[in-house]
A and B are shown apart, each in its own frame.
Chain A
Amino acid sequence: MCLAVPGKVITITGDIATVEMLGNITTADVSLLEDVRVGDYVMVHVGFAIQKYDEAEAKITLELLKDLAEAVENDGIR
């Protein structure tokens, strides 16, 4: 039940944004977020954007995980 689907904010009018989610345009209430802007990526759960998606963090995490994974091979532990 805690599934949240990522979407891109297209327009914002008051509390309600139109969001592109999985190729569909839908609406989401963005009043639980501060400073949400058109173009932001958000996680949508039961009709509400519950958190922003931080692309910079995503890239850092992925690089860290790849380094970590590579380190296994370099150690020769495999």
Chain B
Amino acid sequence: MAFVNFSDDTTARLLLDKIHTAARSLDQVRLMEVCGTHTMEIGKLGLRSLLPKNIALLSGPGCPVCVTPGSYIDAAADLALSYGARIVTYGDLMRVPGIHTSLDEAKSKGANIDIVTSPLIALDIAKAHADQQVVFLTVGFETTTPASAKAIVNAANERLQNLSFFVSHKIIPPALEILIADKQLGISGFLLPGHVSAIIGQMPYQFLADQGFPAAITGFEALDIFSGILFVTEMLRHKKAAIVNAYTRIAKPQGNQRAQEFVYQVFRVADVLWRGIGILPQSGLVTTDEYGFFDATKRFNIPHLDDTEMPEACKCGDVLKGRIRPVDCPLFGEACTPSSPVGPCMVSSEGSCAAYYKYGA
């Protein structure tokens, strides 16, 4: 057994030809992807310049770091600086500007911050520092939520008293609902995130098809992305709307049910704040009462997050909604670059602005 290569040039070129053929009988097509990994791969492939002129690829709110509220960043920095908590986080969050500060800045002021690649490491850190309050910054979409849930279950099983989780998990389908309701965006169809779908399966997207939006669950290699675009374009051409699974080697129709069981053992769905977008109904996860002991917002009385602020003049909010392209922001590439970013879309390596800067429009 081995991994199958999905980046064969000849096939990619032929699929691209077929996209061009399909596009000829269509007016303007606006396809949105909602996954930072897609944003980066599309940039890397130089796909925007290869597609027919009437197919526009929009990047939606697919970067969890970018939609994490500024007040969340400030609150995490405050936990470290005012309460002396030891913060454990994915590296992606370090440079993201909050409203008043960033974790990087907090660290330079003496905050104790560990960067990790798995929530399980937060458990090890808590065990190694039993005299400190350890807080794991629990962010991410559905791909990541099962790992967070399992880490919390493990912390409960191990009765770790000094570990808590500052949860800011988001779920993708409610964001898609908001995007299709915004007629100004004129979205024609979607490339759906392959690894989110590996967890949630196909059903949660059905409302898109029911409301006339074709969509393809799409993987991350060249042929995956080309075929995802082709399937959606073909559906538009035939005036059909369905959810096509173009990533069956990983994303099963029912998703990963065992992983979902862990998620709903620990979390429940709630209205949550998306930075730059606002509070979206039933669009995120909070800890259930059963696991409330591990909820950092309860342990430290963290106030409810209700800001949507972006740094001044930063258009990240409009970029996240696909309302403007990163290059349409007056700060892009001048006042705002990856080495000196103004807003979260440029900070995160998966932000739309960072992808445009790195790979060009």
Taking beta carbons and an 8 Å cutoff, which residues of A are in contact with B?
Answer: 1-4, 6, 29, 31-34, 39, 41, 43, 45-48, 50-51, 53-55, 57-62, 65-66, 68-70, 72-73, 77-78
- Known contacts A46-B117, A48-B147; A77/B4 CB under 8 A: no
Question: In the docked arrangement, what's the CA distance between A47 and B119, Å?
Answer: 8
Apart from A1-B144, A41-B1, A45-B144: 12 A-B pairs, beta carbons within 8 A: A1-B141, A34-B258, A45-B147, A45-B195, A47-B117, A47-B119, A51-B199, A53-B249, A58-B3, A61-B249, A65-B223, A69-B18
Interface hits, B26-78 → A, CB 8 Å:
35-37, 63-65
Smallest beta-carbon distance B65→chain A, Å: 6
The reply to whether the CB of B146 lies closer than 8 angstroms to some CB of chain A is: yes
Closest CB in chain A relative to B296 CB, distance in Å: 18
Cβ–Cβ < 8 Å partners of B36 in chain A: 1-2
Residue ID in chain B nearest A16 by CB atoms = B120
With a cutoff of 8 Å between Cβ atoms, the chain A residues found around residue B143 in the complex are 1-2, 4, 45, 50
B10: which A residues are within 8 A, CB to CB?
69
Q: How far, in angstroms, from A46 to B251 measured CA to CA in the complex?
A: 18
Question: In the complex, what distance in Å separates the CA atom of A33 from the CA atom of B21?
Answer: 41
Q: How far is the CA of A75 from the CA of B90 in the complex (A)?
A: 50
Residues of A within 8 A of B262 (CB): 32
Could you tell me if B3 and A4 are in contact, using CB atoms closer than 8 angstroms? no
- Closest residue to B36 on the A side, CB-wise? A1
A51 to B248, CA, bound (A): 11
Judging by beta carbons under 8 Å apart, are B195 and A43 in contact?
yes
In angstroms, Cα B7 to Cα A58, docked, is: 13
Contact A50 B256 (CB under 8 A): yes
A66 with B118: in contact, given A33-B258, A54-B250, A72-B21 (CB under 8 Å)? Answer: no
Once A and B bind, how many residue pairs between them come within 8 Å at the CB atom?
A: 142
Interface residue B241 (Cβ < 8 Å from any Cβ of A): no
**Quick check: A62 and B120 within 8 Å, CB to CB?**
no
- CB of B258 within 8 A of CB of A59, answer no
Residues of B in contact with A, size category: 35 or more
Residues of B within 8 A of A50 (CB): 143, 146-147, 195, 198-199, 256, 259
CA distance A2 to B63 in the complex (A): 9
Determine whether the beta carbon of B17 is less than 8 Å from that of A78: yes
For window 305-344 of B, CB contacts with A under 8 Å fall at none
A54 touching B248 in the complex, CB below 8 Å, given contacts A32-B150, A41-B1: yes
Q: Judging by beta carbons under 8 Å apart, are A46 and B144 in contact?
A: yes
A54–B139 Cα gap in the complex (Å)? Answer: 28
Cross-chain contact A61 with B248 (CB below 8 angstroms): yes
* Closest CB in chain A relative to B93 CB, distance in Å: 10
A1-B90, A2-B141, A51-B256 known; A65-B15 Cβ under 8 A: yes
**A-B pairs with beta carbons under 8 Å apart, 25 shown:** A1-B141, A1-B143, A2-B35, A2-B144, A4-B250, A6-B3, A29-B120, A29-B147, A32-B147, A32-B258, A32-B262, A33-B258, A45-B195, A46-B147, A48-B147, A48-B150, A55-B1, A55-B3, A61-B4, A61-B248, A62-B223, A68-B230, A69-B18, A77-B17, A77-B18
A65/B11 in contact, CB under 8 A: yes
**Closest-CB distance, B117 to chain A (whole angstroms):** 6
Residue of A nearest to B226 (CB): A65
Q: Known: A4-B143, A46-B147. Contact between A68 and B15, CB under 8 A?
A: yes
In the complex, the answer to whether A69 meets B119 with C-beta atoms within 8 Å is: no
Chain A residues closer than 8 Å to B252, beta-carbon distance = 51, 54
Contact A66 B17 (CB under 8 A): no
Closest to B260 in A: A32
A66 contacts B11, C-beta separation under 8 Å: yes
In contact, A1 and B259 (Cβ under 8 angstroms): no
CB distance from B126 to the nearest CB of A (A): 15
Evaluate contact between A65 and B227: CB separation under 8 angstroms. yes
Q: Compute how far the CA of A43 lies from the CA of B256 in the bound complex, rounded to whole angstroms.
A: 12
Known contacts A65-B11, A69-B14; is A54 also within 8 Å of B195 by CB? Answer: no
